[in-house]
């Protein structure tokens, strides 16, 4: 599932391939992917416009058009972007396709159809962020340790708090497991019981893990093999073992998702 690092790399990909060239046409292959906008209006607003800039907040990608509106993208479980030349080469599961001149195209693909594309009419991306009640982005340069602590709050278990987009935006199931593993905190530890030292470890692990994942190519194929050997994500599977040599990883069901952890590195609270 695309989380902050994946979406950051989608943003950079879009910036490299599809900026400042006029959109000549928009194909909507499945209208269920559109969020609160009709196919007609969606096509009308985008055709003839250009992608002028892009920013990311948490798992949301916000693309500013030179016409003044925003294209908003969320990638659900399986969403991705694919730029290609030659319309015959349409990737599988493309739901929306932006066409440019010289047979160039950007497809939004999504096998499971849980992502959404929409439009935000307001001049400021902040309006979108506020309306979705998103917390600060996990990699926001202004999010220092003090702000991190206050955004995280004092209630609930560590894993649930990290994944709560209203507290801090961008972290999902996989990266929450990695961050907790690197910070040596059990997923069920109550946030309110963490020491200052542990909160500092959690903050530094969050920043480091997310930045490392972006730099190693999150969002591309076989990406986990490019992560450092000591990362949980390389071993996060049935029968996987702790990369620090402690033996089998354990799992627990948590808010409908599976958490992987090492009982030695991350002792029960």
Task: Provide the annotated active-site residues.
Answer: 2-3, 59, 257
Q: Is 248 helix (H, G, I), strand (E, B) or coil?
A: strand
In the complex, least distance from residue 7 CB atom to Zn ion, rounded to whole angstroms: 29
Write the binding mask 184 to 223 for Zn ion: x where contact by CB under 5 A, - elsewhere: ----------------------------------------
Distance CA 29, CA 113 (A): 12
Asked whether the beta carbons of 46 and 71 are under 8 A apart, the reply is yes
H helix runs in 92-195, sequence order: 125-131, 145-152, 158-163, 173-183
Q: Which is nearer to Zn ion, 16 or 268 (CB)?
A: 268
Read off the DSSP letter of residue 187: T
Q: Which is nearer to Zn ion, 32 or 244 (CB)?
A: 244
Q: How many residues bind Zn ion (CB under 5 A)?
A: 6
Count CB-CB contacts under 10 A for residue 86. 9
DSSP state letters, 21-42: S-EEEEEES-GGGBSSS-HHHH
180 scored as a contact of Zn ion (CB under 5 A): no
Dihedral sign of CA atoms 12, 16, 22, 23 in order:
negative
Write the binding mask 228 to 267 for Zn ion: x where contact by CB under 5 A, - elsewhere: --------------x-x-x---------------x-xx--
**What is the signed CA dihedral for 84, 14, 109, 112, rounded to 10 degrees?**
160
Distance CA 266, CA 194 (A): 13
In the complex, least distance from residue 265 CB atom to Zn ion, rounded to whole angstroms: 3
Q: Which is nearer to Zn ion, 115 or 243 (CB)?
A: 243
In the complex, least distance from residue 171 CB atom to Zn ion, rounded to whole angstroms: 21
Q: Which is nearer to Zn ion, 211 or 244 (CB)?
A: 244
In the complex, least distance from residue 246 CB atom to Zn ion, rounded to whole angstroms: 3
Write the binding mask 73 to 102 for Zn ion: x where contact by CB under 5 A, - elsewhere: ------------------------------
Residues of the shown chain interacting with Zn ion in the complex, contacts defined by CB under 5 A: 242, 244, 246, 262, 264-265
């Amino acid at each position: 599932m695309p989380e902050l690092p994946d979406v950051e790399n989608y943003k950079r990909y879009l910036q490299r391939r599809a900026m400042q060239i006029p959109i000549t046409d928009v194909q909507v292959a499945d209208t269920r992917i559109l969020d609160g906008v009709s196919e007609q209006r969606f096509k009308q607003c985008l055709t003839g416009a250009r992608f002028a800039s892009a920013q990311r907040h948490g798992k949301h990608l916000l693309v500013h058009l030179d016409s003044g509106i925003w294209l908003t993208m969320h990638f659900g479980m399986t969403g991705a972007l694919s730029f290609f030349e030659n319309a015959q080469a349409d990737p599988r599961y493309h739901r929306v396709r932006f066409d440019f001149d010289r047979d160039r195209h950007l497809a939004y693909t999504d096998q499971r159809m849980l992502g959404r594309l929409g439009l935000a009419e307001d001049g400021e991306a902040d309006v979108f962020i506020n309306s979705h009640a998103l917390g600060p982005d996990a990699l926001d340069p202004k999010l220092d340790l003090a702000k991190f602590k206050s955004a995280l709050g004092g209630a609930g278990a560590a894993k649930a708090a990290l994944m709560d987009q209203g507290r801090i935006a961008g972290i999902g199931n996989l990266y929450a497991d990695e961050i907790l593993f690197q910070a040596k905190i059990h997923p069920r530890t109550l946030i309110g019981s963490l020491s200052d030292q542990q909160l500092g470890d959690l903050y530094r692990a969050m920043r480091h893990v997310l930045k490392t994942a972006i730099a190693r190519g999150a969002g591309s194929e076989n990406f986990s093999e490019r992560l450092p050997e000591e990362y949980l994500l390389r071993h996060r599977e049935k029968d996987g073992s702790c990369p620090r040599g402690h033996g089998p990883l354990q799992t627990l069901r948590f808010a409908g998702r599976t958490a992987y952890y090492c009982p030695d590195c991350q002792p029960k609270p």
